[in-house]
Structure 1
Amino acid sequence: MKYHQIDRNLFIKNRKNFMAKMKPSSLAVFNSNDIYPISADSTMPFEQARDIFYLSGVDQEESILVMFPDAPNPDHREILFLKETNEHIAVWEGEKLTKEKALEVSGIKTVYWLKEFDKVFYEIMTQCDTVYFNTNEHYRANVETETREARFIKATKDKFPAHSWAKSNPILQRLRSVKDQIEIDLIQTACDITEKGFRRILGFVKPGVWEFDIEAEFMHEFLRNRSKKFAYTPIVASGNNANVLHYIENNQECKAGDLILLDVGAEYANYSSDMSRTIPVSGRFTKRQRQVYDAVNRVKNDATKMLVPGTMWKEYHVEVGKLMTSELLGLGLLDKADVQNENPDWPAYKKYFMHGTSHHMGLDTHDYGLLYEPMQAGNVFTVEPGIYIPDEGFGIRLEDDVVIQEKGEPFNLMRNIPIEAEEIEELMNK
């Protein structure tokens, strides 16, 4: 791993919190992700399943975590099963976790090699009544590929039909939505790496560079700061490309007078950052671009102030819509008749700002979170309003990542990343 080892107390605490929510005489199982094939002998880079990582810190394929708090054998209350390393694997792939290193990473004392799983699992299944299975129930999820977890669930239900089944996801949704300080520090590191990438491109962008040149500059800075990749597929959208919300081709030349909408973020230790900035290719905003830019920035700043304990996600977005409506009226993009005659299910402002303002963020860029309960301290949210004007050839989105505090305004993890128009222009014209 490129990242520094994480304090194992985070994972010890996470397991303790999860097991406190389990039913009596139950166990929970979590599997690593597969390494997915491309074709021939090629594979995609391994990405660990976030839930087993959250509970163990293990960042390795073919790993299984079992938690059985009522196990009659105390050694079986937390168990890791790992792929056994050998000299051949060490030569061709690099060394895997040893049992000693697994304890150091996770705080789990009982570690078996994977070949022992069937025997040990049969033993503990005879001692429990309920099995917690881990399924992906994120509100944006659309899973078409059968995962290692899904195969395990199917096989276990066939082999042990008399057991009761329960869901891990509701417990994890609640636990993962509130970040530990160690997690917040890791997200801060990801944001700090993103800042370095952004400052790098401010001195690089000029008419004639290509969108993929900018993507490459970000990637260079991310890699040299212990990030393995972008946290999500980057958007580098110049000119009218910015009006395609998920534009990821990044294959066009950046032309004088245009704006570039950047939606990029570094990952660090599997934790995400998520930043949007919009900058002028020529180093200066036009008068009109600046008017729209400042309007988006005002909405972002005012929306951020609403992210406090007790705020409801749905009501928050209604209030942000009112802020945006006011700004669009001021810009002449809407008139009073548009607002008076609007469809309540698709308000007038949605013509220019059609996406949501905030989402949970953490181990996933669109992280687990409880959308129908009041916000609480420790939630990490993005704040990302935008105005998109195809008729004028540009779109502007600005986005920061913030942590809700017990009192006062949220803490901005991107407070050091330039965002004011004057600072952007100053840095681009040094």
Structure 2
Amino acid sequence: MAQRGHHRAVGGAQRDARPCRPQRSGQVTGACAARRARLMAQMAPGAVAVLPTAQEVARNADSDYPYRHDSYFYYLSGFTEPESVVVLVAARGDAPARSILFCREKNVEREIWDGFRHGPEAALSAFGFDATFPIDALDAQMEQLLANAPALYYALGSDADLDARVRRWLQAVRRQGRLGVTPPAAAHDLLPLLDEMRLLKDDSELATMRRAAAISGRAHARAMRATRPGMHEYEIEAELLYEFRRSGAQHPAYSSIVASGANACVLHYSANNAPCRDGELLLIDAGCELDGYASDITRTFPVNGRFTAPQRDLYELVLAAQAAALHAIKPGHRYTAIHDAALQVLAQGMLDLGLLDKNKAGSVADVVANKSYLPFYMHGTGHWLGMDVHDVGQYRDVSAPDKPSRPLQAGMVVTVEPGIYVRPAEGVPEQFWNTGIRIEDDVIVTPTGHTIISAAAPKSVADIEHLMQQAP
């Protein structure tokens, strides 16, 4: 028997009174429906798009890694269950656009073990789709939907299993050629369209990101208050994770970096198991994920609560570089202006503090042109932020090939994270050795400038030292 889909014209949502049922806000559902409509408006008339969510991944034996949905899929659906696919059909002539969700069937027995499942009927009204089907019906439905469709949109080459499945669908359609049926004549990469949409956040997205940044800011402040000489990095990491979860965040947005002393000179340090010693600095790069959106904050502070003079000199340099970078954030300014502004300040400071020999390195312009700063500053000054901590979207201006960097627009969210990393080396003043400092904030580009949304994490020398004198 052919499986039957659920459509708005013939059925409503299945009722389930159990208290464990997840709740979706109408605002999120409406936003996802609007995104689907915007995407279909960019597709060729009658074209079909297919976008699966992430697969569950085994950790070891019969244990899986904690499940996390695919960001693109969630952006269009608001749906967090695995084994799900969104299919969109663009309008053509009198045929209206359609959005379809394929998901797991209701299964009361499995819900005892794994938790609530919407099933196609309940998902229909809860998530604002035009039709829903069981996931087992995907192959049969796609063969019908692709028949005589002019084009297919999906994430080309991003998943071998999906590529193979698409080939099977197209082969099935070709076998109907004697009936006058033709497969799509063109295939397009779906992701660039979604990347540009995701780059500009709407009000509901920005509200969620503000909340995520506020939670993470409080977590950093908690870590500062808790830190004492002799503690291990993992003890301080635990303070961060506690604050994330007690505030309602679902996950860390990435593996937290808690790096003391020389460990702070390892950009993606992950062991988090060393003791924090008196007189060292502690660099924490950590942020939570809330309702699918990431935050990303870095703070650096003294383990004993007081900066030494050399530490203060380097810290104030990085803070000044961040201030210059923040000043460059406003609509119309090129993205690279952020990095360029920070680099000017850092290069001058490297010369002033003797990290670079003025007689050999020359002027600030020479330092920048020759990239003499790279031993001490080897990364960019930020990145896009959104559903992914390194979020999607082109940094280049694709509309103007002669312009290597795109202009900033209101609704973009960026991180601003200059740093300085001093390893032992000949000619480098010893008082700066084994010191890594990074200061990172999350910033929304507004119509008139920018707003820092991570200010709950103290970053001035005075504010950090004052906070760390308080009881944990």
* Aligned CA distance change for structure 1 residues 101 and 429 (closer, same or farther; 3 Å): farther
Compute the displacement of 1:96 (Å): 0.9
Aligned to 1:124: 145
* Aligned CA distance change for structure 1 residues 100 and 337 (closer, same or farther; 3 Å): farther
Q: 1:112 is aligned with what amino acid?
A: F
Aligned to 1:196: 218
Structure 1 residues without counterparts, runs of 5 or longer: 137-142
1:276–1:398 Cα contact (<8 Å) kept:
yes
Compute the displacement of 1:156 (Å): 3.5
Match of 2:417 among 362, 370, 384: 384
1:264–1:275 Cα contact (<8 Å) kept:
yes
CA distance in 2, matches of 1:73, 1:52: 28
Compute the displacement of 1:314 (Å): 3.5
> Percent identity over the alignment?
32
* Aligned CA distance change for structure 1 residues 2 and 349 (closer, same or farther; 3 Å): farther
Q: 2:219 is aligned with what amino acid?
A: G
* Aligned CA distance change for structure 1 residues 255 and 93 (closer, same or farther; 3 Å): same
* Aligned CA distance change for structure 1 residues 197 and 303 (closer, same or farther; 3 Å): same
Aligned to 2:434: 393
Compute the displacement of 1:274 (Å): 0.3
Match of 1:79 among 92, 100, 103: 100
Identify which range, 230-239 or 410-419, moves more after superposition. Answer: 410-419
CA distance in 2, matches of 1:199, 1:277: 9
CA distance in 1, matches of 2:220, 2:250: 17
Matched, 1:253 2:275: yes
Match of 1:331 among 353, 356, 360: 353
Aligned to 1:46: 67
Match of 1:370 among 380, 383, 394: 394
Q: Using structure 1 for the length normalisation, give the TM-score.
A: 0.92
SS in 2 for 1:47: coil
CA distance in 2, matches of 1:127, 1:150: 20
CA distance in 1, matches of 2:22, 2:442: 21
2:318–2:419 Cα contact (<8 Å) kept:
yes
Q: 2:236 is aligned with what amino acid?
A: I
CA distance in 1, matches of 2:103, 2:96: 16
> Residues 303-344 of structure 1: CA distance to partner in whole angstroms, max 9, x if unpaired?
011122222234543343222111222222123334339586
* Aligned CA distance change for structure 1 residues 383 and 343 (closer, same or farther; 3 Å): closer
Aligned to 2:187: 165
SS in 1 for 2:37: helix
Compute the displacement of 1:224 (Å): 1.5
Compute the displacement of 1:95 (Å): 1.4
1:236–1:250 Cα contact (<8 Å) kept:
yes
Aligned residues: 421
1:31–1:148 Cα contact (<8 Å) kept:
no
Q: 1:423 is aligned with what amino acid?
A: D
CA distance in 1, matches of 2:468, 2:448: 36
* Aligned CA distance change for structure 1 residues 225 and 117 (closer, same or farther; 3 Å): same
* Aligned CA distance change for structure 1 residues 3 and 112 (closer, same or farther; 3 Å): closer
Match of 1:311 among 328, 333, 345: 333
CA distance in 1, matches of 2:298, 2:371: 24
Match of 1:264 among 256, 262, 286: 286
CA distance in 1, matches of 2:122, 2:337: 47
Compute the displacement of 1:196 (Å): 2.2
CA distance in 1, matches of 2:150, 2:280: 63
> Residues 107-153 of structure 1: CA distance to partner in whole angstroms, max 9, x if unpaired?
213111112222322222114110101248xxxxxx7xx56544544
Match of 1:352 among 371, 376, 380: 376
Identify which range, 334-343 or 348-357, moves more after superposition. Answer: 334-343
Compute the displacement of 1:195 (Å): 1.7
CA distance in 2, matches of 1:200, 1:94: 33
Compute the displacement of 1:158 (Å): 4.4
Compute the displacement of 1:262 (Å): 0.4
CA distance in 1, matches of 2:22, 2:332: 35
Aligned to 2:10: none
Aligned to 2:443: 402
CA distance in 2, matches of 1:343, 1:397: 20
Compute the displacement of 1:382 (Å): 0.2
CA distance in 2, matches of 1:151, 1:418: 51
Matched, 1:423 2:447: no
CA distance in 2, matches of 1:316, 1:160: 50
Q: 1:396 is aligned with what amino acid?
A: I
* Aligned CA distance change for structure 1 residues 377 and 107 (closer, same or farther; 3 Å): same
CA distance in 2, matches of 1:205, 1:133: 48
Aligned to 1:139: none
CA distance in 2, matches of 1:167, 1:238: 43
Q: 2:379 is aligned with what amino acid?
A: H
2:285–2:298 Cα contact (<8 Å) kept:
yes
> Residues 234-276 of structure 1: CA distance to partner in whole angstroms, max 9, x if unpaired?
1000000000111001010000000000000000011100000
CA distance in 2, matches of 1:123, 1:176: 30
CA distance in 2, matches of 1:154, 1:307: 45
CA distance in 2, matches of 1:345, 1:318: 11
* Aligned CA distance change for structure 1 residues 31 and 121 (closer, same or farther; 3 Å): same
CA distance in 1, matches of 2:208, 2:161: 27
2:261–2:434 Cα contact (<8 Å) kept:
yes
CA distance in 2, matches of 1:2, 1:312: 46
1:58–1:105 Cα contact (<8 Å) kept:
no
Compute the displacement of 1:74 (Å): 6.0
Identify which range, 111-120 or 264-273, moves more after superposition. Answer: 111-120
1:68–1:78 Cα contact (<8 Å) kept:
yes
Q: 1:97 is aligned with what amino acid?
A: H
